[in-house]
A and B are shown apart, each in its own frame.
Chain A
Amino acid sequence: MLRFLTQRRGRDRLDMTDWIAFGVLGLGVFLMLGPVLWLVLSSFKTEAALQEYPPRLLPLAPQFVEVEGFETALQRFRVISGEHEGRELAQIRRVGLNAQMIDPANPEERLNVHINDREAVRAVQVETENYTGLFTRFNFLLYFWNSTFITVVATVLTVLFNSMAAFALAKYRFTGRTSVFLLIIATLMIPPTVTLVPLFLVVSQMGLINSPWAVIWPAIATPTGVFLLRQYMLTIPDDLLDAARMDNASEWRVYWKIVLPLSAPALAVLIIFSVMWRWNEFLWPLIVLNRSEVFTLQLALNSFQGELQTAWSSLLAMTVLTLLPITLVFAFLQKFITQGIAQSGVK
């Protein structure tokens, strides 16, 4: 019964457990991806269509038609009841409850239709301006570069420092080891929202305000990263390390050439997390970066939120754009998560 959870390698033909697994995955795709796909579709809607409900799946827009004798295009309607039922007309104007309409094929005749008797003709129409507008509105490439710089530098340092600390905590026995480990875990307990203000005092004393390093330095010693890597490294057999030490390998070599490669799955996970955290970070950059030269994409994205109104169409388009790079990073790195000890033949 629980076989679909434990079965690890598929055989040549699909059996019952595969079908259950696919069933669960199908449900997962529907629940997890459905809303995201809808987000992507919505980013092509106009601001007015986003406000509309019941919300529609596809970006539909009203259709217009050029009619002889009118300067601007007229909106098309389908008459759904009453005297002109079934006809497709263009609306000249609406006065109160009545719409003055015209048949584009026969522009001489004016018709009066009650507004509840007509229904707008709509067709799928992609609002690409949500996207193109972003590039003319602000310096997208500059913000992209700022975000990339912060993300890459912070991730490299995070992985390096965290894995070094994790190595020390997992593979050495020394007095104070447990205390240091607990001290690192304990920092998870204080919510980041609360330390924001005191941290700002520290960072401003160091003169880092409006520098990308104000975002990078506080971010790189993540307790989550140390914890995650330390727990993973615990599963690496000590014999391997001792064998290398017998061959006169330095501690640095043991760390870099043996422990790091064997920790590839956990490192891949931490890289994904770190990239995601830094790329999406908002609250902290909002406080330490206030000049547009150093803005990140998230700051630009959220500048569509005013006091009383939010420009959702631009915000959604920007969200989709900022998602693309991390999607690629994930697609590239997820392979390494399953290339661990199990595959490398080490026991």
Chain B
Amino acid sequence: MAALVRALYEGAFNLFEKPMQMLQYSLGAHRMAWVFLLPNLLIFGLFTYLPIMLNVWYASTSGDRILLGDRDWVGTANFATLLDCGSYLDPNTCRRDLFWRAVHNTGWFVVLQVGFMILLSLIAALILNRNIPLKGFFRAVFFYPVLLSPVVVALIWKWILQRNGVLNAGMDWAGMDTVNWLLDPSWAFFWIVFVSIWANMGFYVLILLAGLQAIPGDVYEAAEMDGTPAWRQLFRITLPLLTPTLLVVMVLSLIRAVQAFDEIYVLTGGGPGSATTLLIQYIYDVGFATRPRQFGLAAAASLLMAGVLLVLTLLQLAATRKRAEEG
């Protein structure tokens, strides 16, 4: 098996070496960067940028048709509808109150979920990086929920959280009062944060685990010899050297939290009422689930969201860059 992989690896190298050398000869080593970028950019252009541009067209038109020519141009009317509010703090004053309820919910969700997600996955990754017995098994355990489909994740947690579920059975056994977890808006919100961390944490643990390998071991050995205490090693060595990877985790977890949808949708359906309705569910509901579809509105909402996300991400990138320069 290993030999086969090695042979394939060598074979692929030889296959591309000649043409790549020719390219380097004719273009110069410097321009090779674009050669390396080209395949990725071509695919991006066709399957990502083109659809995004079409999405802008959808946002500027109305109707429930999909073909671009069948849609009526309305300019910024869809954005105006979404932003039509007496006060942005009170969804009830908005024309599309559910959109603003979703915005509020998503804001709280992101604050809670991203914070805990980063903290917990960092702790898990640091522990899993230790030289402990059964390493492989423990890693698999933390990663496993990521592999489950959202339908199955929601089903499992429904079994646990429902009125006669496992959690209430346990609390009853321990002599505590049972709670109808998914019927209480605050508890339901707590549980969607919990379940989404449960279902996605393994993703970030794995990224952090890989990042930890890039830290050379002798840095720690030197610190040990200097008698640097453990907690100081963590903040002086591990975290700074992990910054590039931590940035990946921060950016991805923020984006994915804003775009959280699947397992939450199947678990609570956005309820009770609209207590756990997040932005993507709103977009999905208006654009896909109900008929006639309001594609234009859905596309406009997604562009608004993308705009906010872009600003937040740029802030994150700028902040880490600044810190790297200072440090």
A–B touch (CB < 8 A): the answer is yes
Chain A residues in the interface with B (C-beta under 8 A):
1-10, 18, 21-22, 24-25, 28-29, 31-33, 35-36, 38-39, 42, 53-55, 160-162, 164-165, 167-169, 172, 174, 177, 180, 182, 184-191, 193-195, 197-199, 201-203, 217-218, 220-221, 224, 226-228, 231-232, 234-236, 245, 250-253, 255-257, 265-266, 268-269, 272-273, 276, 280, 282, 298, 301-302, 305, 312, 315-316, 319, 323, 326-327, 330-331, 334-335, 337-343, 347
Is there contact, CB below 8 Å, between A10 and B145?
no
A-B CB contact pairs (8 Å), 29 listed: A4-B127, A5-B127, A6-B234, A8-B129, A9-B217, A10-B130, A35-B156, A36-B145, A164-B37, A165-B41, A169-B37, A180-B37, A180-B41, A189-B310, A193-B280, A193-B283, A194-B298, A195-B55, A199-B47, A232-B211, A250-B17, A251-B24, A265-B209, A280-B149, A312-B155, A334-B139, A335-B136, A338-B213, A342-B217
Is there contact, CB below 8 Å, between A265 and B32?
no
Is there contact, CB below 8 Å, between B51 and A53?
no
List CB contacts (< 8 Å) of B126-170 with chain A. 126-132, 135-136, 138-149, 151-152, 155-157, 159-160, 162, 164-166, 169
Which residues of chain B have C-beta atoms less than 8 A from A341's C-beta?
A: 213-214, 216
Q: Which of A168, A177, A186, A191 touches B280 (beta carbons < 8 Å)?
A: A191
Number of A-B contacts (CB under 8 A): 317
How many Å lie between the Cα of A298 and that of B148 in the bound state?
Answer: 11
Is there contact, CB below 8 Å, between B127 and A6?
no
How many Å lie between the Cα of A98 and that of B129 in the bound state?
Answer: 63
In the complex, what residue of chain B is closest to A219 when comparing beta carbons?
B47
Does B21 lie at the interface of the complex (its beta carbon under 8 Å from any beta carbon of A)?
yes
How many Å lie between the Cα of A266 and that of B128 in the bound state?
Answer: 16
Instruction: Other than A28-B141, A35-B145, A257-B13, give 13 A-B pairs with Cβ distance below 8 A.
Output: A25-B132, A53-B164, A161-B39, A189-B307, A193-B283, A198-B50, A201-B51, A231-B247, A250-B24, A266-B210, A272-B206, A331-B140, A339-B213
Does B248 lie at the interface of the complex (its beta carbon under 8 Å from any beta carbon of A)?
yes
Does B124 lie at the interface of the complex (its beta carbon under 8 Å from any beta carbon of A)?
yes
A-binding segment of B94-102, B179-187, B251-259, B268-276: B251-259
Overall SS of chain A's interface:
helix
Q: Which of B40, B44, B129, B287 touches A164 (beta carbons < 8 Å)?
A: B40
Does B244 lie at the interface of the complex (its beta carbon under 8 Å from any beta carbon of A)?
yes
Which residues of chain B have C-beta atoms less than 8 A from A199's C-beta?
A: 47, 51
Is there contact, CB below 8 Å, between A201 and B66?
yes
How many Å lie between the Cα of A305 and that of B154 in the bound state?
Answer: 14
Is there contact, CB below 8 Å, between B217 and A8?
yes
Q: In whole Å, how far is B19's beta carbon from the nearest beta carbon of chain A? A: 9
Is there contact, CB below 8 Å, between B142 and A32?
yes
Q: In whole Å, how far is A76's beta carbon from the nearest beta carbon of chain B? A: 25
How many Å lie between the Cα of A164 and that of B149 in the bound state?
Answer: 30
In the complex, what residue of chain B is closest to A220 when comparing beta carbons?
B43
